[in-house]
Structure 1
Amino acid sequence: MRIVSLVPSLTEAVAATLPGALVGATDWCTHPAGLDVARVGGSKYPDLDRVLALRPDVVLVNVEENRAQDADALRAAGVELYVTYPRTVDEALDELGRMLTALGAPGEPDWLTTARAAWAALPASATPRRAVVPVWRRPWIVLGGGTFAGDVLHRLGVANVYADDPERYPRPSLADLHAQAADLIVLPDEPYAFTRDDGPEAFPGTPCALISGRHLTWYGPSLTEAPTLLTTQLTTT
């Protein structure tokens, strides 16, 4: 099977499970390191001619990460798509299993079994910390309701204060962010690369945790280490 992935986390999952099946991936597919496949541009703006030139049997896409018009154009060109859209950790684990089986994996890979066990072993949090979770600034954009990353944090004892917002990615003012009186500001390093010098200064007096955006938002082999790594990062403020 010839697979092109337009989703970085799925690129990592397929590369770890079906070596040699990937023939193309986006420029943002950084894992595994040293992946040697054709590059087809970005997730949001892939070069569809390059995708088609690779003669894929299937192209992996995500409802949130990829544009509907690109998916429609690939379908119109006769390309089969495998579409993902997990909103919770459990959905992601199950969806990965189904996808890999559909792509030809003979059984559940060890990394996926390990990831299921790692998330199942997490203790329940008695007193979750209320957090604001920016994913961009200029303008400020935060996690809202129904996101995979929001469920990751919920499982780790962090309650997103915008979890009930009807928008998946609200754009509140900085004044509104301050008015939430959150216990914690969670600052991932992607899609916006928050750092010690870029982000925390906007929230004086509130603890800020700098965390791995890949482990917060990717659903793939990174899920095996995400519980331990993120727990450590969330307590380092």
Structure 2
Amino acid sequence: MSLVPSLTEALFAFGAGGRVVGRTRYCTQPPHEVGRVEKVGGTKKVDLDRLLSLEPDLVVAVREENRREDVEAIVEAGVEIFLGEPATVAGALAMLRELARRVEAPRADVFLGRIEHVLRILESSRPERPRRVFAPIWKNPYMSVGGDTYAGDVIRVCGGENVFAGRGRYPRVTPGEIEETSPEVILLPDEPYPFSAADLPEFYALDVPAARSGRVYPIDGKLLTWYGPRMAPALMQLSAILCR
């Protein structure tokens, strides 16, 4: 059973999808295969009675997305749990490799090898001066990707410098503070807050290099936050955006 949308997708891609008996309502990938799997609530509000009734041998969770009390209740019920805590791209890769080992996934090496290949390319071709990047995840108030997060390390790996890396994990920031950091690129992910083209005017109104040079980009939020089979293309796509 998986309580993490990106890892649900990974289990199917790795060839273990046929053994997944439960998921959250946010686990929507791959769309055709995952539809047959029973739902057990959301990532933050798990229906524990429903979960236990499905008699899983292993529950997949991560500290970032799942509540501690739910994880503890699952453990207390005697169910084995796989608990990931990836804060870096390398850490996510290691977690995926361990998950594949635990579930004896037959096709994991193909995807993990692609990720490793892309990482070698990106780490060997990092720009001498990374572009300064602002990536909000919420508005009213603005909240930013901060340091010690997977998304923050994705920015680094792809050739960027997170302008709020030193402000904690997900700091609240003001328009004035954004201008003070002088981001050269602004990424507007469509999750968890659904930023879209409709939000562009307020960011282009900021007195920052990104606005003046036209480097404000609405993006698929999964590029920044999902670890799994889509990591290799996501890293390449973000690298291309940051290096334009």
Q: TM-score, normalised by structure 1?
A: 0.92
CA distance in 1, matches of 2:85, 2:169: 13
Q: 2 CA distance for matches of 1:161 and 1:62?
A: 26
Task: Report if aligned partners of 1:143, 1:163 keep a CA contact under 8 Å in 2.
Answer: yes
Give the CA deviation at 1:120: 1.4
Q: Residues 4 and 24 of structure 2 are in contact (CA less than 8 Å); yes or no, is this contact kept in structure 1?
A: yes
Instruction: Report if the CA contact (8 A) 1:26-1:41 is conserved.
Output: yes
* Residue of structure 1 equivalent to 2:139: 137
C-alpha contact 2:13 2:107 (8 A) present in aligned 1: no
Q: Distance in 2 between matches of 1:125 and 1:200?
A: 29
Distance 2:128 2:161 in 1: 12
- Alignment partner of 1:190: what SS? coil
Q: Tell me the amino acid that sits aligned with residue 15 of structure 1.
A: F
User: What does residue 160 of structure 1 align with?
Assistant: 162
Deviation string for 1:158-198 (max 9, x for gaps)? 10011122x20111222222222211211111111110112
Structure 1 counterpart of 2:10: 13
Q: Tell whether 2:21 aligns with 1:23.
A: yes
Tell me: CA distance 1:11–1:71, structure 2 relative to 1, closer, same or farther (3 Å): same
User: Matches of 1:194 and 1:40 in 2, distance apart?
Assistant: 28
Gaps of 5+ in 1: none
CA contact (8 A) 1:15 1:21 kept: no
Query: Could you tell me whether the CA contact under 8 Å between 1:5 and 1:60 is conserved in 2?
Result: yes
Instruction: Give the counterpart letter for 1:226 in structure 2.
Output: A
| CA distance, structure 1, for counterparts of residue 105 and residue 183 of structure 2 | 44
Q: Is the 8 A contact 2:13 2:108 kept in 1?
A: no
Q: Would the aligned equivalents of 2:203 and 2:216 in 1 still touch at CA under 8 Å? A: no
> Take 1:28 and 1:156, find their aligned partners in 2: how far apart are those partners?
27
**Structure-2 residue corresponding to 1:149:** 151
Distance 1:25 1:198 in 2: 32
Partner of 2:170: 169
Superposition RMSD in Å? 1.7
Aligned residues: 232
- Alpha-carbon separation, structure 2, partners of 1:202 and 1:224: 29
In the TM superposition, what whole-angstrom CA distance separates every residue of 1:31-79 from its partner, at most 9, and x where no partner exists?
1121120111111112111111110111111011111011111111111
Partners of 2:108 and 2:243 lie apart in 1 by 33
1:214 pairs with 2:222:
yes
TM-score (norm. length: structure 2): 0.89
- Structure 2: segments with no counterpart, 5+ residues: none
